[in-house]
A and B are shown apart, each in its own frame.
Chain A
Amino acid sequence: MPAFLSIFKKKISANLPKDPAILLSIMVIWFFLLLFILFPLSKIIILTFEKSGHFTLSNLLEILNKRNHIQAFWNSLLLAALVGLSGTILGFFFAFTSVRANLSKGWSKFLDGTIILPLISPPFTTAIAMIFSFGRRGLITYNLLGIKTFNVYGLHSVLFAETITFFPIAYLTLKAVLSGIDPTVEDMAFSLGSSRGRVFKTITLPLAIPGLANSFLLLFAASLADFATPLILAGSRFPVLPTEAFLQITGLFDIRGGAVLSFILLVPAFSVFVLQRYWVSRKYYVTITGKAGAQTQIKSVTSMTGKIFLVVCILVSVLILYFYLLLFYASIIKAFGANYQVTLQHYTVVFTEGLKAIKDTLIIATTGMLLGGFYGVIVGYLISKKTFISRSAMEIVSLVNYSLPGTIVGIAYLIAFNNPPIMITGTAIIIIACYVFRYGATGIRTTVAILQQIDPSIEEASFSLGANATTTFKRITIPLILPGLFSGLGIVFIRSMTAISATIFLISINWTLITVRILEKMTELELGVAAAFSTLVVVIVFIVIIFINLFLRLFRGPGAIDMSNILGG
């Protein structure tokens, strides 16, 4: 054999894992990633740029020529930017109050508890509550203020609803950043003669800037992807891309048009993904999160300012709670705005006619959770513990479906799996696959986060004692990541219960979902039933969260991390 060949062979074999089990897992994972992430996505791109076998821009131009679509593109960007801004400001205000205003434990818990609500709710919750409050017969606009002409549909409502829905993401992100700033750094600035305002302006805020940028991008992406809120609240005067793409497909049966629109949505979504991953995430001031400094009395705000901040936060929290109570109230009265007689009739509908949707949702969410968790652990383990060719490619590809708006993923699946060789439209498999490869990413992130805390020498110790990779994984790695894994599973379940943007394209007569039923009831103006369905989802999700917390309390291992860290971003 020529020398260069043997060198080449050596290079390859040095980069290939020696353990056959690892090699096999890598190949299997890549097969699924290609099939369920890259293949569908390529279909969107092909459909956008292909006409009768040739490359063309005419599809794109045709769609872009319609004023409505251009408008939708700019509307989406405008809305996303505004939500990013307002959500980050509100989130920062909450985070700052929580970390730097010497809150008592009780208030701290109250704020954390209510803020989490929008994160775990079905997508229409805020939107429905907005209609109940500010609609034509709204509790606040009509009953309380007597305004008869207020228009709830439009940019202002979507912006408000999305800010309330997504600011918790900003809160969780920024809280982590702010608590990472050692208060002794601020003490130092005080000791050098700075006033409180100056310390905030010159120390706290600059240190938080990478976090703020990150939070802005997260909210930007969330709003860009949001399908449910604009569908209910935007109205015809404020079209956005996800709803346009949806209408193109379900209203006009124009799959190619839907694909092109989602490709247009792909461009800003992907830019945000890249920006967040390669720019913002590297700007964190890691050094300040190192060793905890000495305990110090936090003196960022006077106790008066602290109290004022707290009151503002409480008011916002009360608004959120009010939305949820309103939802529940609407589900137990005959007809909101007309007949306030208490009744269980909506729940009767939910548990008779809606029973199939509940059953289907639970089956799909449970299966998705188990498979997604399994997938998440394997991929998370491979990309954080093993070195192999294509490792970083695997990491990026596995996060793609999670990072892209659900509308794109849904349309991509619809196109890709509607024809042979793989025809799974109309089955539960397509919905489950969608969940696994979309929300399984949270499992990957959880696993990676936990594994980063586990020293590599622990696994080496196992190898040195004679265990192979499989045994080590089973007896050392899995038990260590189990608590975190469990909360990761919970997240996959919750997301599967509350998702709609992708799966709305994938449901069928055979398999349907609660969230889709909520949407249908909204459009059929059976708001009471929609409210009852929403309440049910919130209750189920709450039960799951209580279970997760109980479990974490029982098995709080060294690898366990806070669930809030996973929900955030």
Chain B
Amino acid sequence: MEAIGIHLNNIHKTFLHRVKGKVKAVDNVNLDIEHAKLVTLLGPSGCGKTTTLRMVAGFEQPDQGTIFLGEENVTNLLANKRNIGFVFQNYALFPHLSIYENVAYGLKVKGIPLKEEKERVNEVIAMVGLTGYEAQFPHQISGGEQQRVALARAIVIRPKVLLLDEPLSNLDAKLRVHTRSEIRRLQQSLNMTSIYVTHDQEEAMAISDHIAIMNKGKIIQVGTAEELYFQPNSEFVAKFIGRINSLPAEVQEVNNSFIIVKIFNHTYKITTAPDGIKSQQKMSAFIRPEFVELSQKAEEKKLKGTITEKVFLGEKVEFAVDVCGCTLNITSYNAIEYAKYLLNQEVGVHLAEKELKIFKEKGD
């Protein structure tokens, strides 16, 4: 089947919360997903990612906005008319049906001839590695196997799009890593446009073509894992993907192509600053732990600090360094060299100027 795109236009959804009253679960979401791509909706719990997914599936109705699967406007179409594959967080296997019957259910509903049904069911059961389990019932197999049945049941109907709602959250850590690469492999080999919901950033980075970071019902940024990590558009994204240090900064000079900020009496030139920054403005500058370097001697020209914490992790060493009362996290992958630094040692601290970021928006 030809893969199609998914387009969400100005989607709004309000829920009535028992305590908080009206809550904007999804607030003007726009998202275009190219065909055969896997896009992850990533965000903290309650950010609206699952609600968005459920609206694409047709389990919820948007208050406003339109949803297109390919060229077709499906906004007012019932879930059973959309031809989607949905994998639930709790799998939602039919407890009274065997594995075979679970997988075959969607084909039976569509009235697929018995012979074709058998072929297709056996094919996907083999694809997820469960041949031999056909006659078992859901409660007789393990969590990981149940997860694979849920996946098989969703893809056997050859859906236009595959939607996955935190499909790995009930598995243990090791199985999670294994299963996510299986899902990715299946998705790519079947060329299925997919939306994947998770709150686990590592999972998102491992499995996606693109990630859409959501917070408080809005999409904050969409991009590849690299783009989000290296070019976050807001403090929220920077803090949500990976770790980042926040430092007090004062704007000294605003130019066309760069600005100069002062951090602890040292000046830095930032070329990636957003528009609208004013001179003398006080704000926060950000830098990731791996872009801060230490030197044995505290020099005049550099920032000075004291090591307050040191954790040796084998391939890397992590430090907490106190600089003028502000704690900086520092990670070094040069473990041999950095193992020499000691607790309470006075050190020089060097910020990689190119990697310093300032944001206009907080993103939350």
Which interface class (under 10, 10 to 19, 20 to 34, 35 or more) fits B? 20 to 34
Given contacts A463-B58, A465-B105, A466-B157, contact A457 B90 (CB under 8 A): yes
Encoded as 1 (CB less than 8 Å from any B CB) or 0, chain A from 458 to 470 comes to 1011111111100
In the assembled complex, B83 has its CB within 8 A of some CB on chain A: yes
Given contacts A465-B109, A466-B109, contact A19 B78 (CB under 8 A): yes
Listed A/B pairs (11) with beta-carbon separation below 8 Å: A18-B78, A458-B92, A463-B78, A464-B59, A464-B84, A464-B154, A465-B154, A467-B80, A468-B78, A471-B109, A557-B96
Pick the 8 closest A-B CB pairs, nearest first.
A465-B106, A457-B92, A464-B86, A463-B79, A461-B92, A558-B95, A467-B109, A457-B88
Q: Which of B82, B109, B163 has the most CB of A within 10 A?
A: B109
B109 touches A460 (CB 8 A): no
Q: Which of A382-404 contact B (CB under 8 A)?
A: none
Encoded as 1 (CB less than 8 Å from any B CB) or 0, chain A from 309 to 349 comes to 00000000000000000000000000000000000000000
In the assembled complex, B57 has its CB within 8 A of some CB on chain A: yes
A476 touches B94 (CB 8 A): yes
Q: Which of B264-293 contact A (CB under 8 A)?
A: none
Encoded as 1 (CB less than 8 Å from any A CB) or 0, chain B from 48 to 68 comes to 000000000111010000000
In the assembled complex, B153 has its CB within 8 A of some CB on chain A: yes
**Bound-state Cα–Cα, A467 to B83, Å:** 10
User: Quick one: which of A14, A460, A462, A480 contacts B95, CB cutoff 8 A?
Assistant: A480
Contacts of B110 in A (CB 8 A): 466
Contacts of B153 in A (CB 8 A): 461, 465
Q: Which of A413-452 contact B (CB under 8 A)?
A: none
In the assembled complex, A197 has its CB within 8 A of some CB on chain B: no
B79 touches A558 (CB 8 A): no
By beta carbon, the residue of chain A nearest B102 is A461
In the assembled complex, A455 has its CB within 8 A of some CB on chain B: yes
In the assembled complex, A206 has its CB within 8 A of some CB on chain B: no
Task: Tell me how far the C-beta of A14 lies from the nearest C-beta in chain B, rounded to whole angstroms.
Answer: 7
**Bound-state Cα–Cα, A480 to B95, Å:** 8
Contacts of B86 in A (CB 8 A): 460-461, 464
**Bound-state Cα–Cα, A465 to B80, Å:** 6
A interface, CB within 8 angstroms of B: 14, 18-19, 455, 457-458, 460-468, 471, 475-476, 479-480, 557-558
By beta carbon, the residue of chain B nearest A454 is B95
**Bound-state Cα–Cα, A422 to B65, Å:** 50
A557 touches B85 (CB 8 A): no
**Bound-state Cα–Cα, A465 to B109, Å:** 8
By beta carbon, the residue of chain B nearest A459 is B92
Task: Tell me how far the C-beta of A85 lies from the nearest C-beta in chain B, rounded to whole angstroms.
Answer: 36
Contacts of B85 in A (CB 8 A): 464
By beta carbon, the residue of chain B nearest A464 is B86
**Bound-state Cα–Cα, A465 to B110, Å:** 9
**Bound-state Cα–Cα, A37 to B154, Å:** 45
Contacts of B95 in A (CB 8 A): 458, 480, 557-558
Q: Which of A18, A465, A558 has the most CB of B within 10 A?
A: A465
Q: Which of B150-165 contact A (CB under 8 A)?
A: 153-154, 157, 163
**Bound-state Cα–Cα, A480 to B138, Å:** 14
B139 touches A463 (CB 8 A): no
Contacts of A557 in B (CB 8 A): 95-96
Contacts of B88 in A (CB 8 A): 457, 460-461
Contacts of B83 in A (CB 8 A): 466
**Bound-state Cα–Cα, A461 to B105, Å:** 10
**Bound-state Cα–Cα, A437 to B356, Å:** 73
B157 touches A465 (CB 8 A): yes
Given contacts A464-B57, A466-B106, contact A458 B94 (CB under 8 A): yes
B61 touches A468 (CB 8 A): no
Contacts of A465 in B (CB 8 A): 80, 105-106, 109, 153-154, 157
Task: Tell me how far the C-beta of A461 lies from the nearest C-beta in chain B, rounded to whole angstroms.
Answer: 4
A464 touches B139 (CB 8 A): no
Contacts of B81 in A (CB 8 A): 466
Contacts of A467 in B (CB 8 A): 80, 105-106, 109
Contacts of A457 in B (CB 8 A): 88-90, 92
Given contacts A480-B96, A558-B96, A558-B139, contact A464 B90 (CB under 8 A): no
Beyond A464-B163, A465-B154, A558-B96, 20 extra complex contacts between A and B, CB < 8 Å: A457-B88, A457-B92, A460-B92, A461-B92, A461-B93, A461-B94, A462-B105, A463-B78, A464-B59, A464-B79, A465-B153, A466-B110, A466-B157, A467-B80, A467-B105, A467-B106, A468-B80, A475-B105, A475-B109, A480-B95
**Bound-state Cα–Cα, A18 to B76, Å:** 10
Encoded as 1 (CB less than 8 Å from any A CB) or 0, chain B from 153 to 183 comes to 1100100000100000000000000000000
Q: Which of B91-126 contact A (CB under 8 A)?
A: 92-96, 105-106, 109-110
A479 touches B90 (CB 8 A): no
**Bound-state Cα–Cα, A461 to B154, Å:** 9
Contacts of A558 in B (CB 8 A): 95-96, 139
